[in-house]
Amino acid sequence: MFDSVSPEVPPKLLKELVAAGSVTSALVRSYPNGWLITLRVGMQERVVGATRGGPRYFKSMDAVTTAIYDAGISDYSVSLANGLPKARARTAESEATP
């Protein structure tokens, strides 16, 4: 769906973009250090940024869902193309062990 990583959307700007109708879609991707939210903003693809700069990696899908909902986004897609984040992969392995 989205292929390039681009400039971050600061948390304060995220709600403004959603309220203005500028965010047309959201994709949650898994990475080794967590979940990353990629947004389609107009013709650009941007990632949700951390308060202190850089991309924001979420440690759980609960945290992702809360952040997306709080921003005013009601639909999003999830991609597991990169595999599960490290912490989740370890949990899944331990649950599978009898």
pLDDT per residue over 43-78, tens digit each? 899 999 998 889 999 999 999 999 999 999 999 999
Contacts with 77 (C-beta within 8 Å, 6 or more apart), sequence order: 1, 25, 26, 27, 28
Q: Alpha-carbon distance 7 to 73, whole Å?
A: 19
Per-residue confidence (pLDDT) for residue 11, from 0 to 100: 85
- Whether the pTM exceeds 0.85: the reply is no
pLDDT per residue over 70-92, tens digit each? 999 999 999 988 888 875 545 55
| Cα dist from 10 to 17, 42, 47, 52, whole Å | 10, 16, 9, 9
Nearest to 31 by CA among 97, 78, 63, 76: 78
